[in-house]
Chains A and B, each alone.
Chain A
């Protein structure tokens, strides 16, 4: 293949008045053509019928918060920079149905998987794609296609997209691709690339599909003078952007500055309106909206563009993890320029400048990077996004995480507390049965949003979910009766490192419903009891009636080989057990934690207090494991809701060691 490309990769010449021939060949393949066109005062991307729809003789100018279409002297069609839209609108549409849930006589059914491959999406051809766009597409490819969960909708749309790139000639003042190492030259990721001159185009190919298309045009080779002029076009674009910024320290600089006063300063101007994220060609955060009929018996789950600037984006039942605009701005900028490297091995920014031009308040990320991230103006060797992207730090097998919701049956349920139930589920799904302690599932009913639920026991023929009715969706789950069904996706996330226990003392600390994800770990302790040192279990609850698994805990407490201590935050006179916070159970204990491994689950504040006491007892941060709650929405690292610094809690966690979390565990609003 590569040879075939090479042999035909002689630059060709396409006269200006024959551009429609290229479009016609693409259309003959059944493709819809998406290209730039002038509409509503901007050069936008839209379906075009032919070259006549392209913005001939029109240019654009952009500065922070301002964009205008201009009239040019020449009649070139691509002498403009990028408008507000990117191909993302088609490869990753703002709204896409991803799942259909139904209540049938045989129980709930979920057709399609999430994400569901769109059945035969219309094949697309993009014309006029810039180097920065190609870099953005590459980045989204990596996010959606190379992770443990694959977005099937994206894959289907992307696979059918043909990319006709165009060399950039006239960047605007908001462009900074040279700083991000993504342009202006088109180097990779395209099918065909054009360089526009006054009287025609230099045509080069970049893929077998491109070869086929260009061959069909039977073009003659481009002559030398045209080639020279083409080189000047690209060189001119590079010069127009001036000196690139020095991005060398930005990765460390941003993560090292969570308390920088610059965040509060920019938050005063920031409208948290989401424009920057929605014009960004790489931002991929989404939410799912349920659209059901009146009685909730049929429900379509629709994936919708969302933004980390929305207040509700990081919200869980207890409140938002990023309540302030400054927290959200920090999340966005830090993610884009810093933690994206940790997650995906590249920057999340391609330097297209849309977030600068289309910010109504005119906030310029370049200035914020200079203030907060210590980015200087000195030209430095460039980082190559594309090369870096191949060096993703995590070894993962794409598509290894279950994406479908399977129907499981409720065999019965046990009431734990006034608002918490344990559902006993039966399933034959082998992946579910093979889950590890600490993993979770997304559980759903038609018309309700999916909720992350800890697996509280694995059985040979099913599993237990312990659910607190914290909102309508979880309440509906707790009300399921024997014989009913629900949809479950999982097992998800990284569980407890069970193997760490071997040969060590084990300390388990649970607060409230935090005991649920620890129960399978306790089961594992019992199974492996002989291989472990001392096993100490400390349980805290709000009141005596809020304790989980009371009988079971009572039986455990009777065992001689396990120490179980319980306390409640407050109690009436009838309670004869301990009262006080859970750390009091061991802050005066005499055991030595230097050969112990600790597992903690509970409200975040309780885990912070607990980990300090554990540390004082000699358990180091790399042997203290916690499981975190975040707004996990997809559960597989594709929706962006549960980010914590460089982590996706759903995918990289929810179990983390304190050593892994570092300051992220205690930084406010991260």
Chain B
């Protein structure tokens, strides 16, 4: 069981929470709790309903997509400070990838329905949180585009 101040400290330690005002962070800490995952734990599976947003405090998680015939492909690993579960805020609230724990991980978890309700009520907090979230998603989109280019790939070989 985590105390409110532990949660607040954990939030403040990473990139996501560090830029928030004390008040905003306090609001979040009020509805959050710390959760730990052991190595190998599947936090969520692709397509499952997702009901919480989490900020990683410690450890490393892999975002995996299952490609029939190729097995699970890791497309991204998540580090402390980054968020997982942004689908909790955006309909249809289903996980877009499978999340697997690579190193012992702890996260600050925010219950989705409560967070959505709170953000609906509090535009100032919503602006602060959603900006962070947009930033995180935008970075991820940009990185994914770069990955798509497959820059290190060998150009097509000639038969010679």
Contact = CB atoms under 8 A, between A and B. Distances in A.
Interface in B140-160: 143, 146-147, 149-155, 158, 160
B151 A603 contact: yes
Contacts of A541: 152
B112 interface: no
Interface in B9-56: 15
Nearest to B78: A580
Contacts of A554: none
A317 B143 contact: no
Contacts of A606: 146, 151-152
Interface of B, secondary structure class, is mixed
Interface stretch (A214-222, A358-366, A525-533, A583-591): A583-591
For the side of the interface on B, what is the size category? 20 to 34
B151 to A, nearest CB: 4
A670 interface: no
Contact of A605 (B139, B151, B155): B151
Nearest to B80: A588
A606 B152 CA distance: 9
Given A584-B143, A588-B82, A579 B74 contact: yes
B151 A419 contact: no
Interface stretch (A185-193, A265-273, A568-576, A619-627): A568-576
A581 B15 CA distance: 18
Contact of B152 (A319, A472, A512, A572): A512
A291 interface: no
A584 B63 CA distance: 14
A661 to B, nearest CB: 19
Contacts of B139: 584, 587
A61 interface: no
Contacts, number: 83
B77 interface: yes
B73 A569 contact: no
B73 A580 contact: no
B146 A581 contact: yes
B126 interface: no
A588 to B, nearest CB: 5
B133 to A, nearest CB: 15
Given A605-B151, A606-B151, A570 B82 contact: no
B79 A572 contact: no
Contacts of B74: 570-573, 575, 579
Contacts of A511: 151-152
A394 interface: no
Contact of B102 (A319, A576, A609): A576
Given A572-B72, A577-B77, A606-B146, A542 B152 contact: yes
Contacts of B155: 317-319, 470
A470 B62 CA distance: 32
B158 A471 contact: yes
A546 interface: yes
Contacts of A579: 62-63, 74-77
Contacts of B149: 605
B94 interface: no
Q: Which residue of A317, A567, A569 has the most chain B CB atoms within 10 A of its CB atom?
A: A569
B146 A605 contact: yes
B143 A573 contact: no
A102 interface: no
A512 B81 CA distance: 27
A470 B154 contact: yes
A570 B158 contact: no
A401 B142 CA distance: 43
A446 interface: no
A569 B152 contact: yes
B92 interface: no
Nearest to A512: B152
B27 to A, nearest CB: 23
B1 to A, nearest CB: 29
Contacts of A569: 147, 150-152
B75 A609 contact: no
B136 to A, nearest CB: 10
A609 B148 CA distance: 14
Contacts of A576: 102-103
B79 to A, nearest CB: 7
A566 to B, nearest CB: 11
B150 A542 contact: yes
Contacts of B76: 579-580
Contacts of B79: 578, 584, 588
A281 interface: no
Contacts of A571: 73-74
B152 A570 contact: no
Interface string A598-617: 00001101100100000000
Contacts of B151: 511-512, 569, 602-603, 605-606
Contacts of A472: 158, 160
Contacts of B147: 569-570, 580-581
Nearest to B72: A573
A88 B143 CA distance: 51
Contacts of A603: 151-152
A606 B146 CA distance: 8
Interface string A462-488: 000000101110000000000000000
A581 B143 contact: yes
Q: For B71, B81, B154, B155, which residue has the most chain A Cβ atoms within 10 angstroms?
A: B154
Contacts of A573: 64, 71-72, 74, 100
Given A317-B155, A542-B152, A572 B73 contact: yes
B60 interface: yes
A468 B155 CA distance: 12
B150 A583 contact: no
Nearest to B146: A581
Interface in B108-135: none
A471 to B, nearest CB: 7
Closest 10 CB pairs of A and B: A512-B152, A542-B152, A603-B151, A571-B74, A579-B74, A579-B77, A578-B77, A573-B72, A588-B15, A318-B155
21 contacts: A318-B155, A319-B155, A419-B154, A468-B154, A470-B155, A472-B160, A511-B151, A512-B151, A513-B152, A541-B152, A570-B75, A571-B73, A572-B71, A572-B72, A572-B74, A579-B77, A581-B143, A588-B15, A602-B152, A605-B151, A609-B146
Given A542-B150, A578-B60, A581-B147, 20 more contacts: A318-B155, A319-B155, A470-B155, A472-B158, A513-B152, A569-B151, A569-B152, A572-B73, A573-B100, A576-B102, A577-B77, A578-B79, A583-B146, A584-B143, A587-B139, A602-B151, A605-B146, A605-B149, A606-B151, A609-B146
